[in-house]
Structure 1
Amino acid sequence: MNALALAIPQPENVQRRPKKTYATGVIRAFRNGNLPAHISRSIPGSTRSDWRRRDLSNIVGFVEPEFTDGFSNPLLHWHNRMAQRSEAALKIMIRFYQQVVLSVRGSKRIWREQKHRIVGLIERIAPIIGLDTACELLNLTQQRFYRWKNERPCNNDVFGRCGRAHPGRLTPAEQAVVKEYVTDEATKNWPLSNRFSKMMRDGAAFMNLQTFYRYARAFGPIFEQFKKPKHGVGVRASRPFEILHIDVTILRLRNGSRVFIQFIVDNFSRAILGWKAESFYYSGFTAENLRSVCEKFGLLRLPGNSKVLLV
């Protein structure tokens, strides 16, 4: 192999292409992303690829402050810029959700009734985080986004739906009938089901009950759902014999007389500690019943720091 290699004639006057060299600052500027685009395009791709993988910690002749110009941590600066842009987009989305939730009743109808506002929101945040990310955050495909964007609302329908695209919608005359029955002052306190039955009996319009509900909620006022108030926490004992309750029940007999039955109940265990019945009520009746309970359970011999509360 060596003899064959020596026998090959060498070309005369071969001029080798000079190897390009670059200043260390150019390499550092390229790594930091500060190199202008026209200069970066003039550098061969293989050289730029080598710069991305090269370890610059051992390069001699490079002084950090001469080339960074205060850009000491480019990666941190890039993350800060992205965080600021993401924060701006999140603030817009938070304000959007607040307005929608406060103005619309029922979360299931948000995407249908607020689609024009959703399109406006995506158009605002798409330049910041991109259209793909904006649609993904709102669980919306780009195809539906462009379809909603190009839609034109119909003035003859309360929901803005076109009659050709939705032939099963109510006609303007039927919608006027629903609005009349919903906003009638004579039946303003009636349930929606009763108003629907009255409309059907009168023969004013005929439709499904769910369809009537949908249009009635669009025309009529929003009724607040009644919530039963919670009862406050009453007297609670933390141990037996701490609080005793006295309850008196009056039993009326057939002969017209009355019997007073008195119970003494422990608040903690709800156990009946004693009871007494008399044909008439007097103060000594309660004292005798209480004395018998205290003697039976030894409540008169409690420690000095213990007290019995009678309610």
Structure 2
Amino acid sequence: MQNQVRRTYHTDVKIAAAIGCLPLNLRKAIPKSTLHGFRSRDHSSCVGAEYSQVLAHSALLREIASCKAALAVASAVIRVVHLVRSLSVTFDSVSRIKSPELRSKVVALVRRLSGTLSRDRILSILGLSRSRFFSWARRNADCRSSPLSLCRRSYPNQLTSKEVRTIKTAFSDPAFAHWPRSSIAWSLVHSGRLSANVATILHYVKRLGLDGMHGVKKKSRKRGSVAAQRPNQAWHLDVTVVTTTNNLKAYVQILIDSFSRRIIAWKASTEISGLHSVDLLRSAFSQLAEAPQKSVSLIVDGGSENNNRHVEAYLASVPVKKLIARIDVSFSNSMIEAVNKILKYRYLFRKPIPDLEHLHDTVASAVMDYNARPHYALRGLTPDAACQGKVFDEAEYRQRLQLARKQRLLTNQSEPHPCLPWDDTAAEHHEPPAMEKTS
């Protein structure tokens, strides 16, 4: 171990420190304990003190030092006033600045003037609280260890690096290319790969820039439909048109369960008729383990494929009550229309479909994937699971979140290298934060 060199100080330096006339740069270079010793010692009692030129003019030196300090303070205040004027705001509205560029200017000035005025005094002039200033300063110097740009030790509640990598892997997986963001998030929760709130997961997805990979542009509109309380209480039947690349007009007809959103039966053909609707209903009844105790409500539109003698004859032999949307009921058949859009925009329209045979294969694959993916309205349950009667365990889910939060706090607080990038991509796209000089 290398011994430190013991410094010796000129007597005038000691006296200047005692009377408060020591320059700032020299005062910072002296250890605090040594400086305290200089200030607490009475040099006037030393032998030969009457020959000291510094002590002889101590009163004058104190006055000069006081004037210099006052001048420095006045200069600092003037710079603060100039900054506020340049920002085109008043002192009362500095704390409400939204622009990141303007906030950076405020943070930079406070740091520059902190050697002349105390930081708290400057913040008081600007009307800023310490918490708001530190929040602005953190945004000005992002931390590469987290997509949120927040230090893991200072903010241990955030997801760990391992959990963030799990999110990135899942949302970059081609197997989930047709899934919406909420379905992928719920699949992470139900599979046990991640214990976090779905809203938190989606927030990280947005910060990682992965939200555009699973989005579908659509117009928002008010919807209404039957409120089913159990599987097979109500069904929806509808048809949509798909044109293949060889200009073949095909009809894809589907039947879904209102409660579970599960596609029970489907059919793709070049023609549409009531016989196809009967085939779908017959297929749906064949999948039931037992006959329904109450009549199933069948919501259809006014199309000829749903309202004809073939359909009416079959419905007379089964416990089904047909309801025409906007005629027998006030609402539309929007639930199955939404499923049709999912099939087309997330599956069918994402790849070329040359002919009817390829359309059959694509629809079959899409229906299987749709029924097996988590659904947001079902609290992450898949349509298959909900149709089988599975119920989301809210208490167990909350307990998992609490346990994961405790483990996350321990992991982030005990991180040996908290400022390392959370992955290689973060290291490539982020500059290391500048070290702040402290006095």
Bigger Rg, structure 1 or 2 = 1
Q: Does the alignment reach a TM-score above 0.5?
A: no
- Normalization by structure 2: what TM-score? 0.23
Higher RCO (CA-CA < 8 Å; seq separation 6+): 2
